[in-house]
Structure formats: structure tokens, C-alpha cells
Amino acid sequence: MSFNVLNSAKHYLKQGLKAIGKEEFFEFLATPEQVLEVNFPVKLDDGGVKLFKGFRVRHSTVLGPAKGGIRFHPNVNLEEVKALAFWMSFKTSLANLPYGGAKGGVIVNPKELSINELQSLTRAFTRAIANNIGPDIDVPAPDVYTNPETMAWIVDEYSRIKGSWQPAVVTGKPLNLFGLQGREISTSLGVQYVIEALLETLNKKPSQTSVAIQGFGNVGANHALLLFKKGFKVVAISDSSTGLFNANGLNIEKALQHKKQTGKLKGFSQQGVKEISNQELLSLECDVLVPAALEAAINEKNVASVKAKLVVEAANGPVTMNADEILFDNNITVVPDILANSGGVIGSYFEWVQNKQGLAWSLENVKSMLKDYILKSLNKVQSFAKENNVSLRTSAYALAADRIINALKLTRY
């Protein structure tokens, strides 16, 4: 992710503001409230000390506490974190959550650290940003190369600093530390509910629907499994090693077993399966294409080859702004990331509410509430898009921006 992705997000914001006639709010909505950069030392296992750099960007708190993940990656940079925080503000607004947006990251290759060093780094970063996060200020969550265990370390360190138990300071925690049932699949569930709702309007059954999924990480793999169990024909999946294609549908459960055993999809054997490239996957004749991997996967160089009728963005920023316009002109429906993958932050909101109120919902309750939230957002976005003859993306940004602007008018000037 880079400066170009931030520019794309701002481009979509401009389109959304134009659709509601409120272009004068662009500078306010495009500018983060707070940018924090910290440098902190970590003691290594060999007794040495290494200095690390981290960021926490709070984009907006107009609608409530900021919300957004923390990633550990060697390529973390400030522009990336700003872009992700920007997206979170619009994602939470569109989902009608009482949140703003934030994001954080540390420049580190976690694969080069031991588990003890990772814990020390997490605790040191927590101490560095402790005055800038909190259940009613800014609530982090897992992201790239962070996980529920990372969140447990943050809870413990933050609670020590504050002198009281503070489980609501982060979401995405382990279940036995007041996490949420189904949180690990909530993003994938949201994507599933969006696809099912759109197909229902076309009177198309799962067994009649072919789906190709680029990316087999947590979101892509869980999504593939959910659709497989629902009877969808998942014809293609891919990871960084290879893509797999079977016109009659892949056995996702067996593909997952192979991935767990070998660490990659390459080498998976099933009758009728052939290996394809990630580029070939994007070009397949299919009903639904789900980019669930990297940003800019669909761009001006390959967009002409996209044949899917529906593109659902499970990843952040998988379609570039030029490609997005071409897909719209080609009558290919694109469900934007701030809507399609919002199940993750909706699930995080449920966990936060549980922690704040001492509740514990069942998995079925979580699924039902998540479906209700995301389908309400989808219906609003579809209605605005139809009424104003704009894309679903422009509609989503327009509605999200309008909610923030309306709250701003009531509270801050």
C-alpha cells in the first residue's frame, strides 16, 4: 500500500461529496485529526537493545471513539497508515457504528523475532501510545501479522498502566479473554451475506453460482469455506504460490487441509483441478469475483480481461480508481471494500459492546446481528446509487461522508 492508495481514497471521497453537493467538506474529511509517531526500545533475547518506530493515526472521532487495527510489517509507513485510518472512518460510518477511524503499525519483520521479543515489542508499543488509546478514545484490533494473542498482551499492559482491568481497550481478543464468538470469520461472513443478498435479487441459487476468490489468507480461506458449505460452486482460489481451478467446483475443505499441512496451495491434487496464475483467476468466466488479497489487484492493465458479473472487494483497495471506472462503464457491479468487508469492524463493535456491558452473545446471535447491520448498509447504498445513477462505491462514500458531516454540524460548529 502506498501514497497512490491514499490518493484513490481521496478521489472516491470527492466523488461522494459531489453526489451530495457538499464538496466544501473535502479538506476536513481528508485530513486526520491526529498523527502520532513513536520510537521505542525493545530488549532482545541476546541482551541487546533495538529501536523500533511505530505510528498511530486517528482520522476521525466525530461519531465516536476511533477504531482500527495495528499491523506489524517491515513495509509499514505513515502514508499507508493514514490511508487505512481514512478507510476505517468511512467504513464505520457507513455501517452506522458509533465509531470513527484509526490505524496503527510498527516497522518490523515479526518473522525475525522470537515470541518473547514480539511480546516485549507489543508491550513497549502499548506503553508508547497508552495515552492515545482507550475504550472511549481509540480502540485497536488485529491486522497484518498481529492476532488475538497480540491483543491479549495489549490488554494486559494497558490495564497495568491504568491500574484497572480494561478488556474493551482492544477487540479481536481470544475467546477466553472476553473475545467475540465468530470474530475470526466476521469479515468473511459479511462478504457472504452481501453476495447472497445480491444473488437473491437475480433469483440465482448458490448451486448455480460460480465464484473465484483471489487470496487464501484468513478472509479468503474462511470465505471460500463458508460459500462451499452453502453450496456455492467455488471454481477458483489462489495464494502467493499458485491458483487452483476446477470448472465443476473445488473441494475447499480438502484444499484447506492441504494448505495447513504444506503451508501453500501448490501441489493440491483433486480430479479436474489445474493450476493457474493469479492473473488467470482474475480473468475467469464466473458469476462472482472476490479479490481478497492485495491492493490494486485489478488495474488498468488487466481490467479489460475481467469477465465476472459481480466483483466483491473482500480486500482493501483491490481495484484501482481507473479500473473502477472501466468496470462501471462495462456494467460490472463492484461492491466497494468499505461495504463488502465491513463485517470485521461490525464484529469488533459487538465485542466492544460485550466488554463495556459485561455481556456474552452466542454465535447465532452474532451472525444474525451482523447480517442485519451489513444488509441495512447494502440496501441504503443500492437505493442511493439507483436514485442518483452512480456506482455503489460513490454511493457508499456519499452516505458515509454525509453521516459524518451531519454529526459535525450538530457538535463541532
Task: Compute the average pLDDT of residues 15-26.
Answer: 97
Q: Picking from 2-6, 31-35, 236-240, 314-318, which range would have the lowest pLDDT averaged per residue? A: 2-6
pLDDT of residue 276: 97
pLDDT of residue 10: 92
**Active-site annotation holder among 67, 91, 103, 173:** 103
Mean pLDDT score across all residues of the chain: 95
Percent of the chain surpassing pLDDT 70? 99
Residue 95 — φ and ψ, nearest 5°? -80, 0
d(CA 294, CA 317): 8
DSSP string for residues in 290-302: EE-S-TTSB-TTT
Homologous superfamily in CATH for domain 185-340: NAD(P)-binding Rossmann-like Domain (3.40.50.720)
Q: What is the pLDDT of residues 91-143, one digit of tens each?
A: 999 999 999 999 999 999 999 999 999 999 999 999 999 999 999 999 999 99
Q: What is the pLDDT of residues 280-313, one digit of tens each?
A: 999 999 999 999 998 889 999 999 999 999 999 9
Set of cell numbers at residue 327? 468496470
Using N-to-C axis directions, what is the helix angle for 343-357 and 363-388, rounded to 10°? 130
Q: Is 103 considered catalytic here?
A: yes
Q: Is the pLDDT of residue 413 over 80?
A: no
d(CA 411, CA 62): 8
pLDDT of residue 326: 96
Which residue intervals of the chain bear CATH 3.40.50.720?
185-340
Q: Strand 70-73 vs strand 101-107: parallel, antiparallel, or unpaired?
A: parallel
* Run of H or E residues at 104: strand 101-107
Task: Compute the average pLDDT of residues 68-87.
Answer: 94
Which residue intervals of the chain bear CATH 3.40.50.10860?
34-166
pTM > 0.85: yes
Contact 289/335 with Cβ under 8 angstroms? no
- Could you give the 3-state DSSP secondary structure of residue 243? strand
Q: Which CATH architecture best describes the domain 34-166?
A: 3-Layer(aba) Sandwich (3.40)
Q: What is the pLDDT of residues 132-181, one digit of tens each?
A: 999 999 999 999 899 999 999 999 999 999 999 999 999 999 999 999 99
